[in-house]
Structure 1
Amino acid sequence: MSDNTIARLSTADTAFHQRLDTLLDWEGVSDKEVQTRVEELLADVRLRGDDAVIEATNRFDRLSVNHMDQLRLSAEQLKAAFDGLPDQQRDALTVAAERIKRYHERQKPSSWQYEEADGTLLGQKVTPLDRAGIYVPGGKAAYPSSVLMNAIPAHVAGVREIVMVVPTPDGVLNNLVLAAAHLAGVDHVFTIGGAQAVAALAYGTQSVPRVDKIVGPGNIYVATAKRAVFGQVGIDMIAGPSEILVVSDGKTDPDWLAMDLFSQAEHDEDAQAILVSWDAAHLDAVEAAIERLLPTLERESIVRASLSRRGALILCQDKTEALDLINRIAPEHLELSVEAPASWLDNIRHAGAIFMGRYTAEALGDYCAGPNHVLPTSGTARFSSPLGVYDFQKRSSLIHCSAEGASELGKVASVLARGESLTAHARSAEYRIRD
């Protein structure tokens, strides 16, 4: 076995925590050169609109277009792509879309209100966004699943208009991506990507409508641009490389676990795949499976680079220590390949999506299980959640005071406002106080 394919760590080593910190360290938008290039693109698109988008698209995607109409796909083109799919692909896409919709319909929050004894009404009004922008990656792979995962929750939330951008390097269109856009009811599709696409969505151009929120993962330029335009528009999250943490009790087929690790490592060289177990012989068997199966992969070079850079097989002492590692890592995808996985849930505080049991491969969640596959990465599951219907809605507070309620609340507000030396606040409230 090669010593370099994937690192072996043990929690018993004195340097373990330092090695783990190094392994987990990821800052995807810190490169000053990248930030400078992104800022220049954003400023150019903001100033020149379509012309700047066309120039950047020609340069980065190796195209030669001279008008935005050449970068816009019609509803007829999307429908033709869907109708032209092989039956098996069209059926699979339809089943996935139906499952995703059914799951997300359960997320819909309701407006609510209640009335106090004096007649004062308080509540919350839930309102969908007017227009959402969806970024779909189009570089190393095509992602029709990302179209469904981003657009369907927006539809369920009640978003009026969905604008999708997807880069098409060398002008290559992916029919599955276009078919997914048709199936998910996307209103506008532009074949643009990178920072220039984020800028077009955030600021609007002569052709691209300005959106209220941008969702969806992308490369380092997309992540940097999303961070830069936040405030002009909402964003879902700053997405880092894909990652998986598998916890095994030693009883799952090592070949299954090796392929589960590969399933995330094949995204790109910066993806992270980690397996934790308290069974040393089991880790040996998984490592042997990794070496045996790696040459069978179509994306072997990407997987090998990912595993050698950021992968690890970690030997821990027991279940308690495995739980500590889960919460320390706060993984995007967590596979509990153990007996009675439900018994672990109360102790897991940080994870984007939890795949329970030996049969629940993370890949099922990527495509068709139903829950969203746009998930917090790089430890952000400590404070962030999967993309959902709630990301496409906002909440307004409702306050309707009766005369009696305004009088009583006014007395409280007056005291607090004067305590803050905001006398106009106090007097405004005092006008409503009954004698």
Structure 2
Amino acid sequence: MKLSCEVNVHHLTRVEGHGNIRISIKNGVVKKAQWEVVETPRFFEAMLVGKHWENAPYICGRICGICSIGHTLASIRAVENAFGITPSAQTTTLRLLLKHMETLQSHILHLYFLAAPDFLGTGSVLPLTKTHPQVVQQALRLKLLANDACDIIGGRRLHPTRTVVGGFTMLPEKAELETIRQRLLSSVSDLLASAELFKTFAIPDFSRETEFVSLKGETNYPFIGGALVSTDGVLKKEHQYRAMTNEYCKTGFTSKLSRLSRPSLAVGALARLNNNFPLLHPAAQEISISLGLEPVNHNPYMGNVAQLVECVHVVLDSVHLIDTLLGTPWQEPRQPVHAKKGEGVGAVEVPRGILYHYYKFDSLGKVIKADCVIPTSQNHANILHDIEALASQYAKAGKKDREIELLAEMLVRAYDPCISCSVH
């Protein structure tokens, strides 16, 4: 007897925002496989028009409560590129360190609190406090470390106040950085334990070839600025972001979608790893290989593993960055800023993928045009095509309703979507 099933997930849980999954299979044939984004759009670009350049990073940092540091840094970079400002080595190092801590913040939140319950057979993280208390404790220690570091460098855990165009309003105490350095080194044991935990997870056997887009690293694994690259060989400069995103609208989505060489593309930790694997810290590479993740990997569920690998990388690279800062006398925290007519683009790899901010300024430094392209909006089309392929594959395998529903939910969660940001 051929499979028939109905899946209707109205507002998927353990993701940020509201999205629906609808799958209908009749006699082994997929009749419907949909990913729907139904939130009311938020018009941040319109809010920016007429605002002074100094206000842009503070406004854009509020687009997201998870990637607020990434949005702030992308906004700052767009302003600096428009005004022809090159940040100092000190500022560049501190910004990357802050960005690393946001990556750790967000990845740990997703891996332990949103994704792990699926693999451990619970509906949320709460039952794990009794069944796997050591796992929850690992997560809390890592999350607290990242939170505290963001406090020290950015001024707050979320929505940083010290990061501004031209540098920082104030610098952290070097004693504080030394403390964070020691905590980073101590956290390695928790990350190794996390890797051992992930080795016990049964990653669904699913693969659909796609195109992965990210920043292109030159000498370091990329997070802030630089060229854009795809696994299909497309290479663009940072200011050519529109040729990389090709946004369009689709019925059933209150977010825009993106495509490049194929009907869809993917951004995020898996895309970064697929494009820049040789630039990962050697210890992160080793853990990635031990978990079965080597480029180019087309299994979207491996996005969870890629996030864990990046946690190892950012922790160890942060130790190096702090060593650099501790070994150099503090310079002036901020350089002068002179507004001028112009336009600039800032590309930053936030946890969910590559984020773009574009601003055009008049001679007084007021925004006359703005554009933000969010990682999850770039992923929506790929999620949709993945769900279609997943439904077809498991319909033929004779999976039951709840099995297909859980696999579809886990697939969307593997992208770690920030749906509310995508409908900005």
**TM bucket normalised to smaller:** under 0.3
Tell me which structure has the larger Cα radius of gyration: 1
TM-score calculated relative to the size of structure 2: 0.24
TM-score calculated relative to the size of structure 1: 0.24
Higher relative contact order (CA 8 A, sep 6+): 2
